[in-house]
Amino acid sequence: MDPTLLYIADLFGTAIFAISGVLLAGRLKMDPFGVMVLGSVTAIGGGTIRDMSLGATPVFWITDTYYLWVILITCLLTMVIVRRPKRIAWWVLPACDAIGLAVFVGIGVEKAMSYQDSPLVAIIMGVITGCGGGIIRDVLAREVPMVLRSEVYATACIIGGIFHTTALAMDYSTSTAFTSGVLSTLIIRLGAIRWHLSLPTFALTR
């Protein structure tokens, strides 16, 4: 995959995840500092955990501060724009979130494979990259993280990671493997949004 296109997609995903953090902060009536914190941890939290786990130092946003500028600008613009009465179709943000999620998972798997040889670890790192920021966001907001609910979210990441690592094991090119992983994550997540798919819940009865 074209490195420039991948980088742009990564920044796009960073912006989308920052927006989701800002929107949650707005619902909780946080001050501007709280908004920035929630937007930031959502956008780069997963990648930070991944890099620290893999020993990839310094962490990616320290060597490339464009990520921080994207988060700052996105948070400020979102705080201004969401105050306007103009409505956005309900599916726009979830669809963009799905794109960002799929790209993040692919980047996480790819980076993990460059540091070690275990496909299982790579899949886990992909899931952490895609979901880690959202988990931190929800914990700070005192909500049950989305990945722990019945919604098809982390499951899509896992399947995407499996496609990605399987393609690599079958000696497909890095670009083909990355694309297969991203598309499988994206298709599953978009399908879950479109048809409101969810996993069965575990509940104890008395």
Question: Got the DSSP string for 83-144?
Answer: TSS----TTHHHHHHHHHHHHHHHHHHHHHHHH---HHHHHHHHHHHHHHHHHHHHHHTTS-
User: Tens of pLDDT along 154-190?
Assistant: 999 999 999 999 999 999 999 999 999 999 999 999 9
pLDDT: is 96 or 107 the higher one?
107
Would you say residue 10 has pLDDT above 70? yes
pLDDT: is 9 or 120 the higher one?
120
pLDDT: is 2 or 131 the higher one?
131
Grade residue 109 by pLDDT with cuts at 50, 70 and 90: very high
Residue 194 to residue 167: CA distance in whole angstroms: 27
Grade residue 89 by pLDDT with cuts at 50, 70 and 90: confident
Q: Which helix or strand (DSSP H or E) is residue 68 part of?
A: helix 66-81
Residue 91 to residue 166: CA distance in whole angstroms: 31
pTM, entire model: 0.94
Would you say residue 85 has pLDDT above 60? no
Which of these, 98, 62, 96, 52, lies nearest to 192 by C-alpha position?
98
Q: What is the pLDDT at residue 90? A: 78
Would you say residue 150 has pLDDT above 80? no
Find where tokens 């930070």 sit: 48
